[in-house]
């Protein structure tokens, strides 16, 4: 993969994601439950924020010569969450159903504006750090795959749920 092409893909996916969020509107619709189970767009955005923060932090560790290893025990998984404030998304031990609960609980009393601001900052950090890596560092650390896993792939999954929800509330209002 070429770094320039990857950033272009990332930006294209980001534009689609932001366009969808703009369609949702703000505040009232962002906090309406039922987008994905009992979750709101705000809840899903909090999950996106923590995934982006996860990869931004791992990229920062790489820049500083630190080594990350996914949690291999439940104790390590709990310690990781306690230390960082988000799950170890690359651990095979992570139970996917629990992560949403942990993330949503943590962000329950944080306003939509703050979550959006933090999410934008995390995304900008990813882009800024990515520019600093050589192609060799990107390949050695599997950054093309890892960044995709924690940015545009979750954006796509979230977009499917939001579009489904928008369609259902549009049909209800007819």
What pLDDT, in 10s, does the model give residues 14-36?
Answer: 999 999 998 888 656 888 888 88
Number of domains in the chain: 1
Q: What is the pLDDT of residues 98-144, one digit of tens each?
A: 566 777 778 888 988 899 999 999 999 999 999 999 999 999 999 99
Q: Is the pLDDT of residue 55 over 60?
A: yes
- Is residue 1, in this structure, part of any structural domain at all? no
Q: What is the mean pLDDT of residues 41-63?
A: 95
Q: What is the mean pLDDT of residues 62-72?
A: 94
Q: Which tokens is 74 given?
A: 């439940």
pLDDT class of 97 with cuts at 50, 70, 90:
low
pLDDT in the model for residue 173: 67
Q: What is the pLDDT of residues 5-17, one digit of tens each?
A: 999 999 999 999 9
- Is residue 67, in this structure, part of any structural domain at all? yes
- Is residue 9, in this structure, part of any structural domain at all? no
pLDDT in the model for residue 95: 76
- Is residue 85, in this structure, part of any structural domain at all? yes
pLDDT in the model for residue 174: 62
For the four alpha carbons of 25, 31, 34 and 38, in that order, the dihedral sign comes to positive
The alpha-helical segments, DSSP class H, found in the chain are 3-24, 41-63, 74-84, 96-107, 112-132, 135-140, 143-150, 152-172
Percent of the chain with pLDDT strictly greater than 90: 71
- Is residue 70, in this structure, part of any structural domain at all? yes
Please calculate the CA angle 49-84-116 and round it to the nearest 5 degrees. Answer: 20
Find the domain containing 166 and state its range: 43-172
Q: What is the mean pLDDT of residues 149-164?
A: 94
Please calculate the CA angle 133-136-140 and round it to the nearest 5 degrees. Answer: 100
- Is residue 142, in this structure, part of any structural domain at all? yes
- Is residue 15, in this structure, part of any structural domain at all? no
- Is residue 60, in this structure, part of any structural domain at all? yes
Q: Which tokens is 156 given?
A: 């796509």
């Amino acid at each position: 993969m070429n770094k320039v092409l990857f950033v272009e893909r990332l930006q294209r996916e980001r534009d689609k994601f932001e366009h969808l969020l703009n369609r949702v509107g703000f505040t009232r619709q962002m906090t309406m439950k039922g987008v994905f189970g009992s979750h709101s767009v705000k809840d899903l955005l909090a999950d996106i924020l923590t995934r982006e923060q996860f990869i931004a932090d791992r990229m920062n560790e790489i820049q500083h010569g630190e080594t990350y290893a996914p949690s291999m025990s439940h104790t390590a998984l709990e310690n990781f969450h306690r230390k960082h404030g988000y799950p170890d998304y690359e651990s095979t031990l992570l139970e996917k159903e629990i992560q949403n609960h942990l993330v949503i609980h943590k962000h329950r009393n944080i306003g939509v504006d703050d979550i959006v601001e933090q999410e934008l900052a995390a995304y900008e950090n990813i882009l800024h750090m990515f520019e600093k890596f050589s192609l060799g560092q990107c390949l050695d650390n599997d950054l093309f795959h890892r960044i995709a896993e924690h940015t545009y792939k979750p954006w796509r999954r979230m977009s499917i749920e939001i579009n489904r929800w928008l369609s259902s509330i549009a049909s209800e209002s007819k």
